[in-house]
Amino acid sequence: MKAISSSIVRSLTFGSRCICADNSGAKEVRLIAVYKYHGRKKTHPRAGIADMVNVVVKKGKPEIRKKVEKAVVIRVRKEYKRPDGTRIKFEDNAVVLVDDKGLPKGSEVKGVVAKEVGERFPKIAGISSGVV
């Protein structure tokens, strides 16, 4: 995965519930793992902006519910700092479902995505309504 410019605050923990901001059929997901996470022994994995995570779909269409999927975190409530000194935070915690290569499963993203997601996953930024 490509490095991003901001200092990530890893605010989403194991078991966090997020909304799914794309039109793939999922409405709410639960975080169960974080890819490329190297933490201390006996600590739960934590995710931040533009991290790839493993999720279980909790609410949505019946054919996608109770399935384990990959997702990318596009918005977090916890504020984080960018290199120019600005601080950014969003209204909600949101993810977008992706496939193994990091390409989005849906065809559009509801709401805006962070600039850091566009650096690491340009296809997600391309189908979003805006980049902040």
What's the CA gap between 103 and 26, in Å, rounded?
A: 16
Q: Could you count the other beta carbons within 10 Å of the beta carbon of residue 112?
A: 18
Q: Over the stretch 49-64, which tens digit does the pLDDT of each residue have?
A: 999 999 999 999 999 9
Domains, the chain, in order of start with CATH, read 12-131 (2.40.150.20)
Closest CA relative to residue 45, chosen from 31, 35, 34:
34
What are the φ and ψ backbone dihedral angles of 84, each rounded to 5 degrees?
Answer: -80, 0
Report pLDDT for 124.
94
**Beta strand pairing call for 94-98 and 17-20:** parallel
CB 74 within 8 A of CB 113: yes
Q: Over the stretch 68-119, which tens digit does the pLDDT of each residue have?
A: 999 999 999 999 999 999 999 999 999 999 999 989 999 999 999 999 999 9
pTM exceeds 0.85 for this model: yes
| Identity at 34, one-letter amino acid code | V
Q: Could you count the other beta carbons within 10 Å of the beta carbon of residue 98?
A: 22
CA-atom Rg of the chain in angstroms = 14
